[in-house]
Amino acid sequence: MVKLSVIVPFYNVRQYASDTLKSLRANAREDFEFILVDDCSRDETPDILARAESELPGAVFVRHEKNGGLATARNTGIDRARGEYLTFLDGDDWLAPGHYPRLVAAIEDLGCDFLRTDHVRCTARARTIQRVPHGRRGEVMDPRRAILPADRTTSVDYPFAWAGVYHRRLVDRGLLHFTDGLRTAEDRPWIWRLHREAESFAVVGLLGVFYRRGVAGSLTQIGDVRQLDFIRAFDQVIEETAADPEADRLLPKAVRTYCAIIAHHLSEIDKFEPPVARQLRTMSAAAIKRLPQELLTDVLDTMDLNRSSRLRRLRRRVSVAKAAS
């Protein structure tokens, strides 16, 4: 029986793929499988992965005929996975040797639905430890208890799918798949769903994933229209949270996070191509209009001045346009 399925999407990462695969070999075990999903790369990445299928124990190579984005590639891997547990890695990141055996041992010991871990953020030669914003370690808890408070950074603000491991029962319950076609912020609706609907989780101080930032071609570095998928992602968070039995408690956190992300993108609007920048303003204004207005007022009254001012200007733009029509 396969104990762990590791799902690794790749897209145009030939300069990093060999390091990623080398780190997977240092984590191989006879009951582990590695599902390597090429999302229709245009460089030499597919050739590297084809060779890896015969060189990496437990490797399975799957190639998309059409580029679908990270969420779709992960879903392809989930559908192919046979493991009792599942985890993820991005094709330009890497692992410490023996990380996955330790990760499996930790979740088996705790017996929870999913486990979250810290990670190392790598920007050029700099290395910083990024910790799950949850103080209680090694204790199984109800994931809902880690969503709030609304005005502080919590576990739903740490959405990285590769920073953890997940029991197959989450797949069976329809909780582990990503929203198909999302090209950025795909892990935001995903992490919120896990925390609302899974039954148990825990956080452990286990470092082993090295997250590479500043990669040319990464969506975090590109100001094109794909970045605007964050609006569709957070619309989904708001819609699903509003339908939750505890919406009155949880929705303020969702609205506050959405507003913070909109303000962040507006603060970096100069990195976007001019037509995309205009679209960002228009779509953000429409998103502000869709939010529960009384709740939005409460959120803006408690945010810092820079972000609240930026969002209030956007809100006034909506009001002026409405009056003019």
What's the pLDDT tens digit per position in 57-70? 999 999 999 999 99
Question: Prior bond to 274 cis, omega within 30?
Answer: no
Q: What is the dihedral of CA 296, 301, 306, 312, to 10 degrees?
A: 50
Q: Are residues 280 and 182 in the same domain?
A: no
The phi, psi pair for 256, rounded to 5°, reads -60, -45
Domains in the chain, number: 2
Q: Are residues 84 and 34 in the same domain?
A: yes
Q: Are residues 98 and 207 in the same domain?
A: yes
pLDDT at 195: 98
pLDDT at 136: 92
Q: Are residues 199 and 156 in the same domain?
A: yes
Instruction: Give the global pTM.
Output: 0.93
Q: Are residues 173 and 292 in the same domain?
A: no
Please report, for the domain that includes residue 182, its CATH number: 3.90.550.10
Q: What is the largest distance, in Å, between two alpha-carbon atoms of the chain?
A: 67
The DSSP bridge partners found for residue 148 are none
Q: Are residues 203 and 146 in the same domain?
A: yes
Residue 52: count other Cβ atoms within 10 Å of its Cβ: 22
Q: Are residues 132 and 202 in the same domain?
A: yes
**pLDDT level of residue 325 (50, 70, 90 thresholds):** very low
Q: Are residues 179 and 240 in the same domain?
A: no
- Last residue of one domain, picked from the residues 218, 245, 266: 218
Q: Are residues 78 and 134 in the same domain?
A: yes
State both tokens at 161.
Answer: 């799918």
Residue 101 near residue 183 (C-beta atoms within 8 A): no
State both tokens at 19.
Answer: 């390091």
- Last residue of one domain, picked from the residues 218, 238, 268: 218
Residue 130 structural domain: 4-218
Q: Are residues 75 and 190 in the same domain?
A: yes
State the Cα–Cα distance between residues 167 and 17, nearest whole angstrom.
Answer: 27
State both tokens at 210.
Answer: 């090295």
As a whole number, the mean pLDDT across the chain is 94
pLDDT digits (tens, 9 = 90+) for 175-204: 999 999 999 999 999 999 999 999 999 999
Q: Are residues 232 and 210 in the same domain?
A: no
